Amino acid sequence: MSGRTLYDKIWDAHHVTDRSDGMSLLYVDRHLLHEVTSPQAFEGLRLAGRRPWRVDANLATPDHNVPTVMSERQAGVAGIADEVARIQVETLDANCRDFGIREFGINDVRQGIVHVIGPEQGATLPGMTIVCGDSHTSTHGAFAALAQGIGTSEVEHVLATQCLAQRRSRNLRVAVAGALPVGVHAKDVILAVIGAIGTAGATGHVIEFCGAAIEGLSMEGRMTVCNMSVEAGGRAGLVAVDDTTLEYLDGRPFAPRGAAWDDAVAWWRTLRSDVDAAFDRTVEIDAAGLEPQVTWGTSPELVGGIGDVVPSPSDMDDPVRAEVAARALEYMDLAPGTPLAGIPLDKVFIGSCTNARIEDLRAAAEVARRGRVRVAEALVVPGSGLVKRQAEDEGLHEIFLEAGFEWRAPGCSMCLAMNADRLLPGERCASTSNRNFEGRQGHGGRTHLVSPATAAASAIAGHLADPREAMG
């Protein structure tokens, strides 16, 4: 018999039983909640007269809808100008109060994007099963946790039963060999992977990322990679436990201490695929050949190197692909053959659960200190109150402010533009977020996905730019 993959091991350790309809029940260790996908689940729970199965498994925070302008933020929930958004945040507060769920409220320093605060608190631990009503829950897979995004019916199901009803996924191994060249970051790796396998490339699979380039990444970088697993169609992404993982977790508020830490570490050390584990598929990528990546279309797979030109749909063999590309170029208002570097921008957004951690802000600041913003608006939105505080301790906010960036309060912000941070029709933005869908950052807005370094370089150039040149 061949060995087991990391995914197989976590699955086996959480498989409760099979239901009468054949679905497997997986026990859920941690459930993260936010204001957008939970209200209907709590309502369902109430209507059925049910209580949460295990209250202390849950951790909640408002993030999608919260204003990021300091003046609006200071007044707390009551200060949210958009009434519908305010009601949603109030509803989360009320539900958490009613059911006894721990919540980091809007102005708690521990508040932030749910996928930033879980790991930051040590609420994300290796070997756990983690769910959240948000597709980017895959982020937590960087800690060798099986972390999956779920819908609202499933949120209610997990609250009521502490289980997820699922079928086993297949195993996809993505091996990234070599070392990352200077100026190339985790975001460029995952964009290149998505470009290679497509946005449906991992559908039905859990992806395990491995190889020297992944091992060389910090936890922040691994989170960026796992975060966008879902953009490749994967239900989850995983990275094996190593010293980097343990160093990050040691001493975090929710992490075990003392003897419990040692016991935990003994189990966590086993959280890697066996050498003879069988994967359904393997994809190999060489990091050494990568350039900074930038998307040119309305799907993350429509991506190229910063040195490339906008491709021509007429060169594409597959008619569906050509049609998709043609439609994307029309929406993006780009002509085939245009060099990507040099495309003029209106706005720049540095933030989101993909790239709003301290390391991302450091990388952006390193570039930002070399110039002044030459776009109409450039936002830096830290991923959590603690990231913001650390950045301020390091003086990064001064670098950003000095260069002409805005320094905001934590939240999802212009990643999905549910609050006031958004693009206007026709505006073009370089963004460190994860989705460049039509209208994602505002009705009619055009998004180019990039790394924090590329975003900062583009902000000070006024157009899409190569961060390696800015660093000169």
Would you tell me which residues interact with ligand SF4 (CB under 6 A)?
A: 63-64, 113, 115, 134, 136, 352-353, 412, 415-416, 433-434
234, two tokens: 């994967």
How long, in residues, is the chain? 472
Cα–Cα distance between 63 and 115 in angstroms, integer?
10
Closer residue to other proteins (CB): 212 or 283: 283
Binding range to other proteins, per CB under 8 A, among 147-155, 288-296, 359-367, 446-454: 147-155
Binding range to other proteins, per CB under 8 A, among 3-11, 178-186, 255-263, 335-343: 255-263
The one-character DSSP state at 24 is E
Query: Of residues 116, 125, 207, 367, which one binds other proteins by CB under 8 A?
Result: 125
- Relative orientation angle of helices 186-197 and 219-227, to the nearest 10 degrees: 30
Closer residue to other proteins (CB): 180 or 417: 417
Is residue 51 within the footprint of other proteins (CB under 8 A)? no
Nearest to 193 by CA among 273, 283, 282, 280: 283
Is residue 20 within the footprint of other proteins (CB under 8 A)? yes
Closer residue to other proteins (CB): 131 or 373: 131
127, two tokens: 């070997």
Closer residue to ligand SF4 (CB): 129 or 354: 354
Query: Of residues 22, 49, 337, 472, which one binds other proteins by CB under 8 A?
Result: 22
The answer to whether 302 touches 426, Cβ cutoff 8 Å, is no
Residues 414-453 that bind other proteins (CB under 8 A): 416-418, 425, 435, 437-440, 443-444
Tokens 């608190």 sit on residue: 121
| Alpha-helical regions (H) of 61-206 | 70-73, 83-99, 114-121, 152-161, 186-197
Residues 173-202 that bind other proteins (CB under 8 A): 199-200
Is residue 29 within the footprint of other proteins (CB under 8 A)? yes
The one-character DSSP state at 276 is T
Which residues is 429 bridged to in the sheet? 347, 447
Query: Of residues 31, 140, 235, 397, which one binds other proteins by CB under 8 A?
Result: 235
Give the CA count within 13 Å in the CB-facing half-sphere of 219: 26
To other proteins, the closest distance from the beta carbon of 180 in angstroms equals 28
To other proteins, the closest distance from the beta carbon of 170 in angstroms equals 11
Instruction: Name the binder of 16 from other proteins, ligand SF4, none, CB < 5-8 A by kind.
Output: other proteins
- Residues with Cβ within 8 Å of 7's Cβ and at least 6 positions away in sequence, in order, are 146, 169, 171, 206, 208, 236, 238
Is residue 267 within the footprint of other proteins (CB under 8 A)? yes
Handedness of CA 130, 134, 137, 138 (dihedral sign): positive
To other proteins, the closest distance from the beta carbon of 13 in angstroms equals 8
The one-character DSSP state at 136 is G
Query: Of residues 63, 120, 156, 377, which one binds other proteins by CB under 8 A?
Result: 156
Closer residue to other proteins (CB): 195 or 211: 195
